[in-house]
A and B are shown apart, each in its own frame.
Chain A
Amino acid sequence: MAMFKADGKFAVLIAYFKIILTYRAMMLIHAIRLLLLPLVLASAWLSIEKTASNPYSDSDYLLYYLLVPVIMNLTDSRVVFKFSQAVKDGSLNRELLKPFPPLMSYLLESLANNALQLLYLVPFTLVFWLFVRDRVLLGHLKPSLLLFFVVAIIIGTLARLVVSGSIALLSFWIEDVTTLNLILNGGIWALLGGMIVPVATFPENIRHIAELLPYRYMLSFPIEIFSGRLSNSEIYIGFATATFWIILFAIIMHIIWKSGLKTYTAYGG
């Protein structure tokens, strides 16, 4: 246990696990929300006539939308909502008064939430998979691919977190960041991240833009890896691009945090 420093992070994480488990009904509702849209989208894509230029087969679409809820959840962070609330009602005060990194608590809550959500999502996904099992091809899967897949999920989670975090921190100035979040992190993410249309099936020039922006790495990219459609060099370029965005937004977050604290008026009391 010498490696493990008991500085409260683990205790806080466990506390969030406990709290979230007392809100199981909320988790189920959230799971249904995560599963429903991909299900609708999958059936839409399966029912339309594919054009010759479309690289995706029915099997590709099925696999893609089977994985969307799980990836969506893993890279989904509620920090924006939570943080803007904390600024508005002054509950950020309590974080600022403790000898503990003030944003850590929001991060750990998000992490606990996403991890526990898997308890619902994974069984549901497996059940869906059983139904379509003979139409989804998984023969290409090998350990190295799975490793890339896991790394891509971690990178995607981080990317989503720093982009969401930057928007969240704007709460210091903007009363209602949820609207901004809905546009930048909801709408644009759904379009360019590959929620509505898988990025690989975008028209060539739009696809190039999407590959440069951070959104693809929060959703489409891990699934593209899993489906075996990317070469190693494409994977490495993807990692590098996502890492660039993560570093950039981490710096942005740091700057916003420093100047935001000076404008923070610590409501309450």
Chain B
Amino acid sequence: MFNMPVMNEQVHEYAIVTKALNREFKVRLKAEGLLASVRNFFSPASKTVNAVNDLELQINRGDIVGFLGPNGAGKTTTLKMLSGLLVPTSGSIEVLGYTPFNRDHAFLKSISLVMGQKQNLWWDLPPVETFAIHRQIYGLTDAEYKSRIDELIAMLEIADCLETQTRKLSLGQRMRCELAVSLLHQPQILFLDEPTIGLDIIMQKKIRSFLLDYHRRFNPTILLTSHYMDDVAALAQRVIVIDHGNKVYDGHLTDLTNKLHPEKIISVLLNDGEFVCKLEDGCRLIHHEGQHYRFMVSRNRVPELAARLYATGNIADLTIEDPPLEDLIGQLFTPDSQSR
């Protein structure tokens, strides 16, 4: 008996398709004690939260898609449904032709979900032992295992933490080992839920460039959530923004940033004295505290303005940055922009 659905024999244009996907949570009002638990078992007192609302997704094979939204938007819930952990309340999901919640082994062998740093790693064992267990579970041959593990160890630079008990590893080491375990079976789809959370800038960059490199070599479909603008900017060509379970944007990241925020922020720290330049069109002061100033500047005027600031000779420090992703996303959720 093959467990493969008939659908799977066709070559799928899309890696992921969802139609009118909904997920509600009944949030149970907590019951105290056994008696109340038993009563609650038969007639639960609860309220309903709509975590995901009529979500329509079509994601091409081999794409990297950034999944954005404020806290509680429904990103993680969506990933859990796509990976088969959660059953949808209604609507349909097809991932590589499978219905995720059926959890066919062939399906599970072709995906990976990375959610936090101790999802897959055995806490009490060194990573190398988790690798060996995964090798058995996913039925890799010696040759496959050897070449893949060597490659991942080199790419992720984890040779020195393989023999250390996982609980003793640093966050960054653990995250990289976690990625290695999750990629050992070479999934066709990789779901990443905030893969760089809690990591320092250097480590974030390492993870990002690893993911790009890995994608270039093996071309998996990657769906990633992150709160860091840089992650999304570096990795995803396409972003999907959701808020309160509703999709509010789907398209190129550059279109989104240009449309929503045709400006950058210039932060300046003066050596001494006050700022004397007069503010012109396309430049406004958004923050001022002592010697520290922050300006919002039109993108096209940034180079010129920065040069002029340096020319004053009174600059101790100057940085140019994109507005925080949260601000950007926040704009999508104001009533007037939603009517678009």
Residues of A within 8 A of B193 (CB): 269
CA distance A100 to B185 in the complex (A): 14
Mask of A246-269 contacts with B, CB within 8 angstroms, 1/0: 000000000000000110111011
Contact with B along A19-36 (1 / 0, CB 8 A): 100100000000000000
B75 to chain A: closest residue by CB: A269
Q: For the complex, give the distance between the alpha carbons of A8 and B103 in Å.
A: 18
User: A142 at the A/B interface (Cβ < 8 Å)?
Assistant: no
Expressed in whole angstroms, the Cα–Cα distance for A268 and B86 within the complex equals 12
Q: Chain A: which residue is nearest B87 at the CB level?
A: A262
Asked if A93 meets B109 with Cβ closer than 8 Å, knowing A7-B139, A8-B133, A22-B124, the reply is no
A175-B31, A176-B37 are contacts. A266–B136 as well, Cβ < 8 Å?
A: no
- Which residue of the partner chain, among B34, B125, B136, contacts A18 with CB atoms under 8 Å? B125
Question: How many A residues are at the interface, by size bracket?
Answer: 20 to 34
* Chain B residues with CB below 8 A from A12, complex form: 133, 137
Q: How many A-B residue pairs have CB under 8 A?
A: 83
Contact A96 B124 (CB under 8 A): no
Q: B80 and A266: CB pair below 8 A? A: yes
Answer yes or no: B108 CB below 8 A from chain A CBs: yes
Q: Which of chain B's residues have a CB closer than 8 A to the CB of A140?
A: none
**Contact digits for B105-126, partner A, Cβ 8 Å, 1 yes 0 no:** 1101101110110011010110
Asked if B7 is at the interface (CB within 8 A of a chain A CB), the reply is no
B25: A residues at CB distance < 8 A? 265
Cα distance, A23 to B255, chains bound together (Å): 56
User: Contact between B119 and A8 (Cβ–Cβ < 8 Å)?
Assistant: no
Report how far A99 CA is from B138 CA in the complex, Å.
7
Per-position 1/0 for B132-154, Cβ under 8 A of A: 11101111000000000000000
CB contact under 8 A between A97 and B113, given known A175-B37, A261-B87: yes
- In the assembled complex, the Cα of A99 lies from the Cα of B112 at a distance in Å of 11
A269 x B116 contact (CB < 8 A):
yes
Per the 8 Å Cβ criterion, residues 51-108 of A in contact with B are: 93-94, 96-100
Name the residue in B31, B80, B115 with the highest tally of chain A Cβ atoms < 10 Å from its Cβ. B80
**B83 at the A/B interface (Cβ < 8 Å)?**
yes
The answer to whether A97 and B136 touch across the interface, beta carbons within 8 angstroms, is no
B76 interface contact, C-beta 8 A: yes
B234 sits at the interface (CB 8 A):
no
How many Å from the CB of A14 to the closest CB on chain B? 9
Out of B31, B80, B124, B136, name the residue touching A8 (CB < 8 Å).
B136
B124-A19 in contact (CB<8A): yes
CB neighbours (8 Å) of B87 from chain A are: 261-262
Least CB separation from A183: chain B residue: B34
Tell me if B137 and A7 are in contact (CB < 8 A): yes
* A15-B129, A99-B108 known; A93 vs B137 contact (CB < 8 Å): no
Contacts of A97 in B (CB 8 A): 83-85, 108, 111-113, 119-120
Known: A93-B119, A264-B86, A269-B80. A7 touches B136 (CB 8 A): yes
Q: Chain A residues with Cβ under 8 A from B79's Cβ?
A: 269
Q: Give CA–CA (A22, B136) in the complex, Å.
A: 23
Q: Which residues of A contact B122 (CB under 8 A)?
A: 15, 19
Q: Quick check: is A48 within 8 A (CB to CB) of the other chain?
A: no
Q: Do residues B31 and A93 form an inter-chain contact, with CB atoms below 8 A?
A: no
Whether B2 is near chain A, meaning CB under 8 Å from some CB there, is no
Mark B16-48 against chain A: 1 for CB-CB distance below 8 A, else 0.
000000000100001100100110010000000
Contact between chains at A11 and B136 (CB < 8 Å): yes
In the docked arrangement, what's the CA distance between A99 and B140, Å? 13
Alpha-carbon distance A82/B84, docked complex (angstroms): 22
Which residues of chain B have C-beta atoms less than 8 A from A173's C-beta? 41
For the A-B complex with A6-B139, A11-B136, A97-B111 known, give 19 more contacts whose Cβ atoms are closer than 8 Å.
Answer: A7-B136, A12-B133, A12-B137, A19-B124, A93-B85, A93-B115, A97-B85, A97-B113, A99-B109, A174-B41, A175-B31, A176-B37, A179-B37, A261-B87, A262-B87, A264-B86, A266-B85, A268-B115, A268-B116
Q: Which 10 A-B pairs rank lowest in CB-CB distance, beginning with the nearest?
A: A8-B137, A99-B105, A8-B136, A269-B115, A266-B85, A99-B108, A11-B136, A19-B124, A269-B76, A11-B133
Return 10 A-B CB contacts under 8 Å, by A number. Answer: A7-B136, A8-B137, A11-B133, A96-B85, A99-B108, A99-B137, A174-B38, A174-B41, A262-B87, A268-B116
Q: Which residues of A contact B (CB under 8 A)?
A: 6-8, 10-12, 15, 18-19, 22, 93-94, 96-100, 173-176, 179-180, 261-262, 264-266, 268-269
